[in-house]
A and B are shown apart, each in its own frame.
Chain A
Amino acid sequence: MLGLNKKDTSLLILVAALALFAPFILNPFPVGSAMAQFNAGYPDLMQRFVIFGIFAIGFNILFGLTGYLSFGHAAFLGVGSYAAVWMFKLLSMNVVPAIILSVITAGLFALVIGYVSLRRSGIYFSILTLAFAQMTYALAYSVLTPITGGETGLQLALDDPRVLDGAATGDNIPVPGFFGMEMRGSSQLEIGDWAFTFSNGYYFCAIIMLLSFYLSIRIFRSPFGMMLRAIKSNQQRLYYTGLNARPYTLAAFVISGMYAGLAGGLMAAMDPLAGAERMFWTASGEVVLMTILGGVGTLIGPVLGAGLIKYMENILSKINSDILHGWFAFLPDGLEDLIVTLIYPFIGKGWHLTLGLMFMLVVIFLPGGLVEAGQRISRLFGRKKADDKSEKSTSTEPAE
């Protein structure tokens, strides 16, 4: 189907089903129960899952296929967000022009940076991309404040021109929409004690994510993708066969920059604010971590990695000692305090510690990331399914 082989089609269908039913899957616990803390099915987090999924998918096209480790990818995401917010300010609150402009801007930006950085390879390439991104961040935070809003970020204001939307719309700033469908609108479905939220913005992002996922499968399977993999495995040999690798890597760099711009544009469409921290080196590092955590060079891995990191950031950090005491209230007092004291350093303000430990454990025990974990589990349960998966892992081998 859609020009994909059977395995890829089923993978795409799986991802589509996951995306479609995410509001159910991510809200497994009834509202008001002690476990409701772990529910992730609220619009903002679901949107973040798919947006960072797009970001990581794009990053994987560069890193997973060509092996070029960019350490400045967050700059494209940031530039994309700025472009989108400016579009909202100047043109219209419709998300379509904003997203298109953010993809184009990020693409052009990636073309310039890629053209320069790709003159070097290995860690020299990484440091070049890092340097460009850090410069963008530093300037956006300070001297470029009139364009970027600086510390407080670029925001919408009541008196923005919004040429296409016509006159001022009352006393409140309008919200981004897709031809009238407001991105923040949502509907609720309540079944017994469970509540599920279906957000317009989330489904908008999810569809775009599916499209980009599909495109990435096509790139992985195309002759172009083969070429990129050839660059990764042995660039020297490629030169000897008379091929110039640079245009291919540059194309991959620009494509992945456009993915990042798309993610940035979507972030602004969901929440019309663009801040410079989005471009700090830690943000670039985060997408590297997402990709490695999920499984470099695999199709689904980066999406899983993005989901896991964002889940920890948003769920773990919100657990406080009060909630812990609530959970273990059934235990005798002394034991309750002991357990809370033991767990407390790892949650709430200690969520970074858990994150760091998880990075270490995953890399030590699961070199192939979460995808490898999945493969091991399915191998445990044996039978036919395992063959399927292991076959996939050979066709999309993890990067070095």
Chain B
Amino acid sequence: MSNSNLTRRGLLKTSAVAGAGVALPTIFTASSAAAYTNEPTGSTVTLGFNVPQTGPYADEGADELRAYELAVEHLNGGGDGGMMNTFSSKALQGNGILGKKVEYVTGDTQTKSDAARASAKSMIEKDGAVMITGGSSSGVAVAVQALCQEAGVIFMAGLTHSNDTTGKDKRANGFRHFFNSYMSGAALAPVLKNAYGDDRKAYHLTADYNWGYTTEEAVRSSTEAMGWETVAAVKTPLTQTDFSSYIAPVLQSGADTLVLNHYGGNMVNSLTNAVQFGLRDKQVNGKDFQIIVPLYSRLMARGAGANVKGIFGSTNWHWSLTDEGSKAFVKSFGEKYGFPPSQAAHTTYVQTLLYADACERAGSFQPCAVVEALEDFEFDGLGNGKTLYRGDDHQCFKDVLVVKGKENPTSEFDLLEIVEVTPAEQVTYAPDHPQFQGGALGSCNDGA
């Protein structure tokens, strides 16, 4: 139907132009004298802080960024040194990393894997970052981790809770300090048993994407192991804002416990809706109806207001911990910004310190050397007690906090109280655990 007259001659000419284009780049010699991607040659080293600055997680991103700025300040010898003073490894001198002053670039992940990769690429290609860190969702973490593996830089994950990040999507250049779905389930189960008994009927509402699936699986298997019955598990769309039609049938099903495998805005809305429906005032099977939120975030809990009171969940870290490391961190963060740090801020601060320390111990920024220094590294004093960075999957193993919404908060930050600190042994699993199967770490990549 198109009558355009493409001639053979025309085509030949076009392909000639095309040929010239292909030949062009080879005129210049590739200058890959560097031993690895973005080897810092001057007196500074650049880190890339890739956090959500727009979109629903912008506030978490802002808190991560504050922690990064604080970490950079401490690494360069400014401020009071924060957790550098309590960290069990004493390699960091407060003179930057390996004597190079730490500089940083920031970017916006928009909580979309495409945008996050674009931002990370610009840090690697344009700004010469040797390490990328940050993020507030597992989709982004997995996408950026794969990119860093390809490009030959280190990725220190920020807030990412899905099993997949160090499970089927693990990469040799990527490291996760944050805990994961399995650990949440393992830590919550005993506490729930104590509080609610071993004869409960649970109804799961699960966000319909990867993180939701792994969290549901983890919580289900650990609660079923202690005798709970799972009545039903219903998947809810990520874009859902009003959960009434999912929550209303819960009572009809005869369940006496509701598990909300939701995060962020989903969690705020589903929890608010559930409380609105008066579920917590009900009695089913002769027991008080209960709600559980496997992954808590203080920033997000604020959005749910008084609805979180008395609701169990797990968290990676909380500012009310009283060990020396946490106290030092809360103090320097609080004095600088005027409010306590979130768990996202904590994990990103720690990740930056861990990376810097690994470089110091390895004596190089070379990714493979850093990977070697971090693998099976044991440390203490960073707020979670004794911690191991396991070499098999690059996941940190440490204590997990089980928390509960506080009944009488003294301020807008004081929303959660720690119920139990579950010791690391109890949440440790074998590297080939069924929930983490598939995928391979591969070997470290230096790039260049």
Contact = CB atoms under 8 A, between A and B. Distances in A.
The answer to whether A and B touch in the complex, with CB atoms under 8 Å apart, is yes
Interface of A: 1-3, 16, 20, 39, 42-45, 48, 138, 141-143, 145, 150-153, 155-159, 170-173, 175, 181, 184-190, 197-200, 203-204, 206-207, 210-211, 214, 218-219, 221-224, 247-248, 251, 271, 273, 275, 277-278, 313-314, 317-318, 320, 348-349, 351-352
Nearest to A251: B1
Interface of B: 1-7, 10, 13-14, 17-18, 21-22, 24-26, 28-31, 53-54, 58, 61-62, 65, 105-108, 112-115, 117-119, 121-122, 125-126, 137-139, 142-143, 146-147, 149-151, 162, 164, 169, 172, 208-211, 213, 235, 237-239, 439-440, 442-443, 445
Contacts of A156: 146
A154 to B, nearest CB: 10
A348 B53 contact: yes
8 closest cross-chain pairs (CB), A and B: A349-B53, A171-B443, A44-B121, A151-B209, A222-B4, A142-B208, A42-B126, A151-B139
Contacts of A314: 118-119, 122
Contacts of A155: 142-143, 146, 169
B318 to A, nearest CB: 26
Given A155-B169, A278-B114, A349-B53, A187 B29 contact: yes
A151 B114 contact: no
Contacts of A185: 30
A180 to B, nearest CB: 12
A203 B18 CA distance: 10
B3 A224 contact: yes
B122 A42 contact: yes
B2 A42 contact: no
Given A271-B117, A317-B53, A42 B210 contact: no
A159 B440 CA distance: 8
Contacts of B125: 42-44, 197
Contacts of B115: 277, 313
Given A145-B209, A150-B209, A2 B13 contact: yes
Contacts of B117: 271, 273
Contacts of A351: 54, 108
A57 B13 CA distance: 22
Contacts of B169: 152, 155
Contacts of A348: 53, 106, 108
B25 A152 contact: no
A224 B119 contact: no
Contact of B31 (A44, A188, A219): A188
B162 to A, nearest CB: 8
A277 B113 contact: yes
Nearest to B151: A184
B237 A138 contact: yes
Given A42-B122, A203-B22, A138 B239 contact: yes
A98 B395 CA distance: 34
Contacts of A190: 31
B28 A187 contact: yes
Nearest to B139: A151
A159 B119 CA distance: 28
6 contacts: A2-B13, A138-B239, A142-B209, A150-B209, A184-B151, A224-B1
